[in-house]
Amino acid sequence: MADPASRQYVPLTCHGHSRPVPHVSFSPLEKEEVYYMISACKDGNPMLRDGQTGDWIGTFLGHKGAVWQARLSPDASTAATASADFTAKVWDTHTGELLYVLQHDHIVRAIAYPYDNSGMLATGGFEKKLRIFDLQEQKPLYSPTSSIDPNLVTPITIETSQAFEIGEGAHKDAIKFIVWAKDPNMIITASGDTLRWFDLPSRSCVREAKLDGEIKSCELVSLAPAYSSPADIGGGLPVLAVAAGKTAYFWGGNRAEDDIKQITLPHGIASVALDLKGRKYVVGEEPGTWARVYDWEDGRELDVHKGHHGPIWSIAFSPDGNLYATGSEDGTIKMWKNCEGYYGLWRGGLSTGSGTD
């Protein structure tokens, strides 16, 4: 039974997508309380929003298939999207212009920037190949003399032959998630029921872990430096949070390979996220449409969120830890307050229901 004293605030609901939302993620903190959220959607139109309020900023138009993942670069100047149209694309977050088209030979399911480098990208998908693209080798051409639009950009197309393949032949299933550890030489992939750690200098797989079923979510959780501390889960370093079967897995350290904890729940898990400072974790149950909040130390159920009408495929915490977002099969994103007092569009006052809006 959830603890009534810890009930969450009424969530904000972000509309605009017309199909399921398989992935949401936040940018790092640009300055105090300024950050962004990006959502991938099967409608093919990833959306950029104000991270604190959920207000729509823009839609990146150009994909011809479902967008499975979307991420913002460490400096928030670009966004990268992975699509079923056999491409990954890189966009200018300020103008919405398409900058790069990364060609693939099959559906692209996963995409990741390094932890602190906006000039590199890793991709993976149904080709079962992990590739690294160096975006700094070629720069998009701007046309300042154009009479039609002085900001017109000619995007760069990069073929897969120009990328570096890592761990050739290592993957037996489609790559669904890619995580770049804080150590830039370590990259982790989720494929089928297996997590793999790759050493970039040697391009080889250095560790494999077979998990409790197909991996449904795999994300690196971190707080902005101003908000993190050695007392946090992970000791102030990012934590790798993975959902597979009925188990949530957590790894820490610079290379995201130190076992921290495994937690098996009585229900399946479609997604998991971790509150490093508040010492609790949130899961999207499967089957089902609820998000459940559990205490990190003793496993108590702290809250149940019942606002969605479809499975919750993605959960992400903001870089200050003051809210988290859930992306669902129902085509909506909900934002849940995770702090006391005034924040964003929340003006105080606990919800009287069970977290529904």
Sign, CA torsion 348/353/354/357:
negative
Residue 355 resides in a domain? no
The encoded tokens of residue 62 equal 């150009």
Residue 348 has a pLDDT of 53
pLDDT in tens, 143-169: 654 445 556 788 999 999 999 999 999
Residue 338, exposed/middle/buried by CB under 10 A (0-12, 13-18, 19+)? buried
Residue 155, exposed/middle/buried by CB under 10 A (0-12, 13-18, 19+)? middle
Q: What is the dihedral of CA 20, 246, 206, 197, to 10 degrees?
A: 30
Residue 19 resides in a domain? yes
Residue 344 resides in a domain? no
Residue 357 resides in a domain? no
User: Which region among 16-30, 34-48, 109-123, 338-352 has the lowest average model confidence (pLDDT)?
Assistant: 338-352
Residue 356 resides in a domain? no
The encoded tokens of residue 25 equal 């993620």
Residue 353 pLDDT > 80, yes or no?
A: no
pLDDT in tens, 167-192: 999 999 999 999 999 999 999 999 99
Residue 151 has a pLDDT of 62
| Mean pLDDT on 239-244 | 98
Residue 353 resides in a domain? no
pLDDT in tens, 315-348: 999 999 999 999 999 999 999 999 988 888 887 5
Residue 223 has a pLDDT of 96
CA distance 273 to 290: 14
Share of the chain above pLDDT 90, in %: 85
| Mean pLDDT on 213-234 | 96
At 161, give phi and psi (nearest 5°): -65, -20
pLDDT in tens, 11-30: 999 999 999 999 999 999 97
Residue 140 has a pLDDT of 83
Q: 78 versus 145: which is more confidently predicted?
A: 78
Residue 347 resides in a domain? no
How far CA 100 is from CA of 83, 118, 141, 259, in Å, comes to 14, 13, 11, 37
CATH number of the domain at 163, please: 2.130.10.10
CA distance 304 to 166: 41
Residue 4 pLDDT > 50, yes or no?
A: no
Residue 250 has a pLDDT of 98
Residue 141 pLDDT > 80, yes or no?
A: no
| Mean pLDDT on 301-306 | 95
Residue 349 has a pLDDT of 44
pTM above 0.85, yes or no: yes
| Mean pLDDT on 195-201 | 97
User: What is the 3-state secondary structure of the chain?
Assistant: CCCHHHCCCCCEEECCCCCCCCEEEECCCCECCECEEEEECCCCCCEEEECCCCCEEEECCCCCCCEEEEEECCCCCEEEEEECCCEEEEEECCCCCEEEEEECCCCEEEEECCCCCCCEEEEEECCCCEEEEECCCCCCEECCCCCCCCCCEECEEECHHHCEEECCCCCCCCEEEEEECCCCCEEEEEECCEEEEEECCCCEEEEEEECCCCEEEEEEECCCCCCCCCCCCCCCCCEEEEEECCEEEEEECCCCCEEEEEEECCCEEEEEEEECCCCEEEEEEECCCCEEEEECCCCCEEEEECCCCCCEEEEEECCCCCEEEEEECCCCEEEEECCCCCECCECCCCCCCCCCC
pLDDT in tens, 268-279: 999 999 999 999
Per-residue pLDDT band at 355 (split at 50, 70, 90): very low
Per-residue pLDDT band at 32 (split at 50, 70, 90): confident
> Distance of alpha carbon 251 from its chain centroid, rounded?
16
Residue 296 has a pLDDT of 97
Describe the strand order of the beta sheet including 120-125 as a list of residue ranges.
108-112, 120-125, 130-134, 164-166
Residue 348 resides in a domain? no
Sign, CA torsion 28/130/166/79:
negative
Residue 144 has a pLDDT of 54
| Total number of domains in the chain | 1
Residue 138 has a pLDDT of 84
Residue 238 pLDDT > 60, yes or no?
A: yes
| Mean pLDDT on 245-274 | 97
At 2, give phi and psi (nearest 5°): -70, 150
The encoded tokens of residue 147 equal 């009479």
Question: Mean pLDDT across the chain, nearest whole number?
Answer: 92
Residue 150 has a pLDDT of 54
Residue 344 has a pLDDT of 86
User: Domain of 319?
Assistant: 4-337
Judge whether 211 and 195 are in contact, CB under 8 Å.
yes
Residue 76 pLDDT > 50, yes or no?
A: yes
Residue 277 has a pLDDT of 96
